Structure 1
């Protein structure tokens, strides 16, 4: 589902260079939940941005669902982000003046989905994330965990094949964060999507199928310790 080969990204500020990614290579299979752990500034967000087509590397390639993201024109990247990749961010990113249901419906409106089909899918997604009774509430009327559930439902609106979540539990307490991670795991199983979840919370990575660790731009796979 995801193939990353030799990814390198360097940020330059005047004469100073910061290497964010160093020859990063890995693959993710369909229906797999992968946790990417690392400290703040380790390169997690940079890596996810390259995979989701939000930024371009200096070297290397990314292939998502058979499409070479790193070779795409900007118009094609817009289509990739609309139809293939769903994004979940720690800041939720909901539109304050819209209800939960309306926020979930935004990507489908942009994709020109017929109104009846859109409304039915919104109802299904609200139920899927356990918010079927909260569709008319606006973000300020919801808890942090509920807002993140709305954001996850919105990310699933156009049936993406890849879900990219950047620190989705960072603004939540530990119990709510675990509930959100468990929801993501259930969605990977039930919807058949692949999920890449960046987190620094060691208590959540046990819910992943695999764990990758990034430090100073270098990625390695974490081998589970035998009990």
Structure 2
């Protein structure tokens, strides 16, 4: 179901219930000596369970900064982020580590796979960190590799896989601990257009089947149509939604 826009321009997400992610008045400033660069200014939005949101904008518009703040990888200079009831912007680092382990899954442009480990071993890393029992871990890894279409490649290492296959492994790894939020920063940036679209379609299918929320930063206009909603950043601020 596509995103609806109310008469006053606010977004109404598909599905029922409250938002999984709430961002209110977010601001981030980078300082180099006396120079200041405002990366985000007064950014606010909500994201709901089962919703895939594409965050669009030119390079330098603030997409990565926004995702890093929502995912608790960086601290803002103002504003608040709440994920699954957790006040991300106020939490100590130890609590953020647990949040990133248990609630948020990350997918990066560079894949981030461990080269000496097989596909199955890469997917199982979060489960090992969570000390999941071996039998349960192996069952979950097998299911996830099947979900992303790589059940026959479980024992191959990253260098034996194509770029698209490596990103599928990264998607499976991000889902290992059953996160409620997926944060994907340009996940198709290193892939050709056809493979990139396949990865975006996979993410959309995962959102539906797993009931998670996904924030996906992308500059590829061909992928935007696969999202439930598009938020466009321009110089650190969201552009208003188009008039219906």
- When normalised by structure 2's length, the TM-score is 0.91
Is 1:94–1:103's contact at 8 Å kept on the other side of the alignment? Answer: yes
- The one of 73, 78, 81 equivalent to 1:54 is 73
Aligned length: 225
Aligned partners of 2:185 and 2:68: how far apart in 1?
9
SS in 1 for 2:177: coil
Aligned with residue 57 of structure 2, among 20, 38, 46: 38
**Superposed, which structure 2 residues align to 1:28-107 within 5 Å?**
28-107=47-126
Name stretches of at least 5 consecutive residues in structure 1 with no aligned partner. none
State how far apart, in whole Å, the 1-side matches of 2:156 and 2:57 are: 35
Counterpart Cα distance in 2 of 1:128 and 1:206: 23
> C-alpha displacement at 1:155, in angstroms?
0.2
Does 1:200 pair with 2:216?
A: no
Distance 2:121 2:202 in 1: 21
Counterparts of 2:118 and 2:239, CA distance in 1: 41
How much has 1:219 moved relative to structure 2?
1.3
Structure 2 counterpart of 1:120: 139
Contact kept? 1:84, 1:159, Cα under 8 Å: yes
Q: Deviations over 1:181-211 (max 9, x none)?
A: 0000000000000000000000000000000
Cα separation, 2, equivalents of 1:39 and 1:128: 32
Alignment match, 1:150: 169
Q: Deviations over 1:131-186 (max 9, x none)?
A: 00000000000000000000000000000000000000000000000000000000
Partner of 2:12: none
Alignment partner, residue 201 of structure 2: 182
Contact kept, 8 Å, 1:91 with 1:171, in 2: the verdict is yes
SS of the residue 1:175 aligns to: helix
Q: What SS does the aligned partner of 2:225 have?
A: helix
Does the Cα contact within 8 Å between 1:211 and 1:221 map onto a contact in 2? no
Say which of 18, 22, 37 aligns to 1:18.
Answer: 37
Which ranges in structure 2 are unaligned for 5 or more consecutive residues? 1-19
- CA-to-partner distance for each residue in 1:14-52, whole Å, 9 max, x for gaps? 010000000000000111000000111110000000000
What TM-score, normalized by structure 1, do the two folds share?
0.98
- Distance, in Å, in 2 between the alignment partners of 1:205 and 1:144 is 21
Instruction: Give the whole-Å Cα distance in 2 for the aligned partners of 1:221 and 1:154.
Output: 35
